[in-house]
Amino acid sequence: MGAIIAITDNFLSEKVKKNLMEVLKMTEIEQWIREEGREEGRQETVREKTLAALKEGLDVNLVARIMGLDIEEVKKLQKELN
């Protein structure tokens, strides 16, 4: 999109250029919001799977290693189960 604006710079009015830049900014913000949502979803999935593994009686160290979490994080989740 930025390349299109650069190429057509001589043909666009200042108002149209401003509007296009606003659209680009909104698109970037929307993308950031979506990425944040995906990250939150991944974190929630890791949390749920960690809790499920702990409920099954798997060792805290093993769960931490498999899930890529700090042992203290896993112990904290284990306390939630008790």
Domain boundaries, the chain: 2-81
Q: What pLDDT digit, counting tens, does each position of 38-52 carry?
A: 999 999 999 999 999
Asked if residue 14 has pLDDT above 70, the reply is: yes
Tokens representing residue 41 in the block: 């979803």
pLDDT for 8 = 62
pLDDT-derived band at 63, boundaries 50, 70, 90 = very high
User: What mean pLDDT is predicted for residues 33-62?
Assistant: 93
Asked if residue 9 has pLDDT above 70, the reply is: no
pLDDT for 46 = 96
Q: What is the pTM of this model?
A: 0.62
Write the CA distances from 74 to 60, 61, 77, integer angstroms: 6, 8, 5
